Amino acid sequence: MHSLPQGVKQAILAIWATLAISALSALIAKLSGLSSQGDFVSTVFVYAIFCIVPYKLANRSNATRYVYVVLIAISFLFMAAGVGALNKIDFAVSVLLIPAEVFIIYRLFQPEASAWYASK
């Protein structure tokens, strides 16, 4: 089995970091009273499902790269349109994580990563 290219490793690590930061943000919003119990549970559930992404990426799922891009694009559009009315903490964290998401997508689609995913 081929080892992961450095760019893919970096992207996967960055995805884990963004998930951890986002989950921590949801917890802070809940504890500060900015989100309800239901909002908190549904948010953490979504983040739990997103934990599949780094696993699939590490196992050479080329389709997961494209699914990730689509999910991030949709989240950016929802954030820009104000859909879901994020609380102040979640909105601030989402904006601050935009460069990380751009970095992840950049690393996942570099030639080395693309060649690695294509060689499966």
pLDDT on residue 35: 87
Buried/exposed 78-97: b ≥16 CB within 10 Å, e otherwise: ebeeeeeebbebbbebbeeb
Q: Considering the entire predicted model, what is its pTM?
A: 0.90
pLDDT on residue 1: 41
pLDDT on residue 20: 96
47 contacts: CB under 8 Å, gap ≥ 6? 19, 22, 23, 26
Block mean pLDDT (10 aa), the chain, length 120: 86 97 93 90 91 96 96 87 74 91 97 92
pLDDT on residue 78: 81
